[in-house]
Amino acid sequence: MTESSQKTTANVLVVDVGGHNVKILAMGQTEPRKLTSGPKFTPEKMVLGVKELTRDWKYDVITVGFPAPVRQDQPVEEPFNLGRGWVGFDYKGAFGRPVKMINDAAMQALGCYQHGKLLFLGLGTGLGSSLVVEGIVVPTELCRLPYKKATFEDYVGTRGLERLGKKKWRRCVEDVVARLIAALEPEDVALGGGNVKYLKDVPTGCRIVDNDNAFAGGFRLWDGTSPVERDEPRL
């Protein structure tokens, strides 16, 4: 077993990068701290801001949840709602600590996973999604699948909510969730993201989860088999 694949007892800092803000929390702390992001937000600004906000926190390793596809701890696409420069950036060198990176929806899925096959759907700016199958995280980009005249994301993301209004948006969410459940046959379905508060009723077979599960997932990522060896994290 390599050093990277052993369980760690190190103190973990979780950095959850979003389109409007970055939320950070270290093990042993009770209140997350926030850093404003946005369309001009770069990885250099992220690292600088995180370092400034955590001067009084102790941590040994870092998990970064990122709003775009990630492979082997590196983004493979630039996020559409942030600045440029994320692909190819040296996160470990910039932070001066070991860094694991994971898609933000996959990190939330890992945090709320209980058993069997979980489907996590994040209703936010877009549609975040991930599966966890018997403890293995399988990031997905279900948001890009065609739906009606566009994609799932165009109907159940923020753009769809603003265009359709809450009543029609809720019907689309129920329909999309039902289609994905029928196709993927999960044993558990967790709905998260900032727009779940606009749901009037919880879709059949689903549970609502708190966004703070992202921190639990970030902590969990260091407590098992290294994702580098599998190209996905495992519990």
pLDDT at 10: 86
Can 3-106+213-229 and 115-208 be said to share one CATH topology?
yes
CA–CA separation, 140 and 142 (whole Å) = 6
Between CA 84 and CA 96, with CA 90 as vertex, the angle to 5 degrees is 130
Burial (CB count within 10 angstroms: exposed 0-12, middle 13-18, buried 19+), residue 137: buried
User: What's the predicted TM-score (pTM) here?
Assistant: 0.88
pLDDT tier at 235, thresholds 50, 70, 90: low
Q: What is the mean pLDDT of residues 47-51?
A: 98
What are the sequence ranges of the domains in the chain?
3-106+213-229, 115-208
Contacts of 57 (CB under 8 A, 6+ apart): 13, 26, 29
CA–CA separation, 125 and 135 (whole Å) = 27
Each residue's pLDDT tens digit, 122-148: 999 899 999 999 999 999 999 999 999
Domain 115-208 has CATH 3.40.50.2300: no
pLDDT at 228: 33
**Assigned CATH for 3-106+213-229:** 3.30.420.40
pLDDT tier at 223, thresholds 50, 70, 90: confident
Token pair, residue 116, equals 């069997």
Q: List 21's β-bridge partners, or say none.
A: 36
pLDDT at 230 over 60: no
Each residue's pLDDT tens digit, 160-186: 999 999 999 999 999 999 999 999 999
